[in-house]
């Protein structure tokens, strides 16, 4: 944290008299429009031709976590929308004139103040700003910035006339964390091409490190809302199913036709991330973990059936084909606002989110989650959980989960019979299934009629290439 308690007035003068880290120690590291700047003593000054233009210098800068940045500025003229400085704290590109993702302090501009801004590509958003007319001509100003591990930003300043530092603004934003470069961008008119001065640049804090790229299965698509309420938006929930931390910026989300890049956000093991266009709308319509929401324009999802594809570069990490007819609970008379939930990240079984949680669970464990650990069972096993299920869409035991474990992939037939031996539903017919997994029954017959409560029998048959045959009959109860 900044040494505000030690008396920043004194600290300000120490910076003025210090050996300039910016100029004397790091001059060889700077790239960009080097010829437009000059070093005079311990001060970096714009020294460009007398023409309306811009100039930038950038260097390697990886501080981002519990970090602090310090620098002094002096303009020999009145700041304006045509004469100002962008002090880049964080950037993923060395070209500070082009598109990039990062944060900068805008010094000057129309209000002649200090503003913390976020840049996403070519788009700039002012996150927070201080009082107007803080930047005056020929008056040095010291600016310091803090950023916490969790993305809390504090911006301070100090003039020679101030008794102590002034808190300009505070805001929490952790959209981007990929810190690779920093530097200065200067916008100037022809009569102001030599009037910018900067000195005393310091940076310290935890540094950004490139994270591993996810492999298939590391991140799964865990929940999908493709048919939102009239005042809502689609969302896709991701779950980190690995032991590693990833950066969402390495991923794209698509609908099978177009892909959208994701922003730079850390994705920790066991965490959820909810991708949606409007976090405020989502929070109003559903109980959700606000910190898990990542605002991004989700590719258009077809209401009833379609694809969601997650990629790392060109490599698919996970993909889901959703279908309201086969995946939503048949008891639902209207599935608007109801999400598709994955019952377990290790399985490909989906169903409707439960009514008692508001029909969606963005940012936390799915209402229809079921544990799955086939390692506890012997090969050749077939079992049903729960033994009694109640398909009433209350989020409690809505599905009969028919688990199996075999030595190898096999061709499988699964059917449901009444206790009198009458065929009710064929769940699988000559389906090639993996060595372990689950088949579900929602309580409905092949004619899409909800069966009455009572005892039923699961008939499971498997035939493998090695001629191993499994035939099992397991009872289950459809309750009320």
* Among candidate residues 1, 5, 14, the one with its CA nearest the CA of residue 165: 5
Residue 137 has pLDDT above 90, yes or no: yes
Domains of the chain, earliest start first: 4-207 (2.60.120.200), 212-369 (2.60.40.1260), 371-480 (2.60.40.1220)
pLDDT of residue 280: 92
Section 459-473 average pLDDT = 87
Question: Which DSSP category does 169 fall into?
Answer: E
Average pLDDT estimate for 246-266: 92
**∠ at Cα 166 (105, 139), nearest 5°?**
70
Q: Which residues pair with 464 in a beta bridge?
A: none
Which pTM was predicted? 0.65
pLDDT, the chain, mean: 90
Q: Give 282-327 pLDDT, tens digit per residue.
A: 999 999 988 899 999 999 999 999 999 999 999 999 999 999 998 9
Mean pLDDT over 141-160 rounds to 96
- Asked if residue 24 has pLDDT above 50, the reply is no
**pLDDT value at residue 373:** 80
* pLDDT surpasses 80 at 123: yes
Percent of the chain scoring above 90 in pLDDT: 78
| Element (DSSP H or E) covering residue 279 | helix 279-285
**Which two tokens mark 83?**
């004469």
Average pLDDT over residues 141-167: 95
Residue 405 near residue 377 (C-beta atoms within 8 A): yes
**What confidence category does residue 330 fall into, taking pLDDT thresholds of 50, 70 and 90?**
confident
pLDDT (0 to 100) of residue 142: 97
- Average pLDDT in the 105-116 region? 97
Residues 147-166 have a mean pLDDT of 94
């Amino acid at each position: 944290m900044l040494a505000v308690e030690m008396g920043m007035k004194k600290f300000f003068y120490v910076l003025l008299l210090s050996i300039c880290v910016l100029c004397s120690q790091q001059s060889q590291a700077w790239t960009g429009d080097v010829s437009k700047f000059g070093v005079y003593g311990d001060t970096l000054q714009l020294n460009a031709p007398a023409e309306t233009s811009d100039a930038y210098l950038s260097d390697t800068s990886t501080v981002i976590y519990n970090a602090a940045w310090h620098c002094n500025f002096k303009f020999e003229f009145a700041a304006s929308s045509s004469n100002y400085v962008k002090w880049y704290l964080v950037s993923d590109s060395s070209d500070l004139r082009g598109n990039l993702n990062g944060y900068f302090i805008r010094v000057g501009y129309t209000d002649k103040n200090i503003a913390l801004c976020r840049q996403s590509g070519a788009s700039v958003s002012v996150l927070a700003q201080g009082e107007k007319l803080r930047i005056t001509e020929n008056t040095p100003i010291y600016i310091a910035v803090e950023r916490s591990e969790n993305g809390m930003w504090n911006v301070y300043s100090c003039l020679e006339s101030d008794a102590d530092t002034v808190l300009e603004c505070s805001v929490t934003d952790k959209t981007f964390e990929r810190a690779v470069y920093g530097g200065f961008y200067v916008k100037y008119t022809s009569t102001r091409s030599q009037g910018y001065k900067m000195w005393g640049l310091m940076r310290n804090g935890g540094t950004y490190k490139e994270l591993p790229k996810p492999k298939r299965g590391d991140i799964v698509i865990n929940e999908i809302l493709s048919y939102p309420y009239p005042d809502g938006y689609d969302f896709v929930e991701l779950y980190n199913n690995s032991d590693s931390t990833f950066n969402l910026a390495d991923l794209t989300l698509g609908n099978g036709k177009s892909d959208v890049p994701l922003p730079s956000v850390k994705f920790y093991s066991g965490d959820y991330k909810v991708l949606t266009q409007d976090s405020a709308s989502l929070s109003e319509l559903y109980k959700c973990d606000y910190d898990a929401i990542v605002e991004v324009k989700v590719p258009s999802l077809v209401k009833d059936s379609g694809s969601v594809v997650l990629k790392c570069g060109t490599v698919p990490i996970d993909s889901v084909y959703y279908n309201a007819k086969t995946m939503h609970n048949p008891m639902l008379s209207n599935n608007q606002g109801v999400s598709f939930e994955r019952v377990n990240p290790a399985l490909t079984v989906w169903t409707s989110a439960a009514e008692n949680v508001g029909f969606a669970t963005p940012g936390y464990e799915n209402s229809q989650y079921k544990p799955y650990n086939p390692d506890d069972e012997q090969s050749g096993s077939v079992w049903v959980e729960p033994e009694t299920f109640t398909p009433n869409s209350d989020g409690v035991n809505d599905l009969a989960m028919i688990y199996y474990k075999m030595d190898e992939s096999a061709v499988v037939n699964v059917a449901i019979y009444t206790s009198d031996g009458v065929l009710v539903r064929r769940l699988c017919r000559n389906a090639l299934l993996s060595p372990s997994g689950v088949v579900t029954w929602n309580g409905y017959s092949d004619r899409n009629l909800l069966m009455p409560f009572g005892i039923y029998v699961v008939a499971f048959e498997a035939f493998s290439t090695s001629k191993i045959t499994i035939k099992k009959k397991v009872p289950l109860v459809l309750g009320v």
